[in-house]
């Protein structure tokens, strides 16, 4: 996971790119009534608008709120994997309605009903896309790009080994 602001910005940019592109493809396919090869190209037009919006929103707003929400039901002593899932859940829970609202105003006939429908249709897909595809793919790419050099473990001394065997 990111250890500094630069890494956080890179991670957020990758996650926002993959999430937004996937969700745009999903919404275009819903509007067309079918998933076609053209959907992937059509999504690039909206991506130019929605990716920067998602990046800024997640980096400066949601990315700060989500860990606070996650730690309202998680403990720092919990497994790191579950903390990551909890934060991802909170980010997705916040980003989905915000991005659905923005997309409703930019690309649809804005109304409360249209927003509610967009949000309701997007939420299950966003969770599935996040937990099955985006999260694992982006975390793997991030780990490969920012490989950590682990500090070497000290070998136990003979005295420490003798003390451990007596205990």
Element (H, E) at 62: none
Q: Kindly list the domain boundaries of the chain, sorted by start residue.
A: 5-148
Q: Which two tokens stand for residue 57?
A: 């929103």
Given a contact cutoff of 8 angstroms between Cβ atoms, the answer to whether 29 and 39 are in contact is yes
Per-position pLDDT tens, the chain of length 167:
788 999 999 999 999 999 999 999 999 999 999 999 999 999 999 999 999 999 999 999 999 999 999 999 999 999 999 999 999 999 999 999 999 999 999 999 999 999 999 999 999 999 999 999 999 999 999 999 988 766 555 555 555 555 555 55
What is the pLDDT at residue 1? 78
What was the pLDDT predicted at 147?
A: 84
Q: What is the distance of C-alpha 99 from the center of its chain?
A: 13
Q: Check residue 22 and give its pLDDT.
A: 97
Q: What is the pLDDT of residue 10?
A: 95
pLDDT at 19: 97
pLDDT number for residue 3: 87
């Amino acid at each position: 996971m990111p250890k500094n602001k630069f890494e956080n910005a890179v991670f957020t940019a990758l996650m926002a790119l993959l999430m937004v592109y996937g969700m745009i493809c999903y919404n275009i396919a819903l509007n067309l009534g079918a998933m076609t090869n053209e959907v992937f190209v059509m999504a690039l037009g909206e991506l130019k608008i929605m990716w920067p919006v998602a990046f800024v929103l997640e980096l400066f707003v949601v990315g700060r709120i989500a860990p606070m929400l996650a730690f309202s039901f998680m403990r720092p002593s919990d497994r790191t994997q579950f903390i990551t899932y909890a934060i991802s859940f909170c980010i997705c829970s916040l980003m989905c309605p915000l991005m659905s609202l923005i997309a409703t105003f930019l690309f649809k006939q804005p109304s409360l009903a249209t927003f509610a429908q967009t949000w309701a249709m997007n939420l299950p897909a966003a969770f599935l896309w996040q937990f099955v595809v985006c999260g694992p793919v982006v975390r793997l790419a991030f780990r490969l790009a920012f490989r950590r050099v682990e500090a070497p473990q000290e070998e136990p001394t003979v005295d420490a080994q003798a003390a451990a065997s007596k205990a």
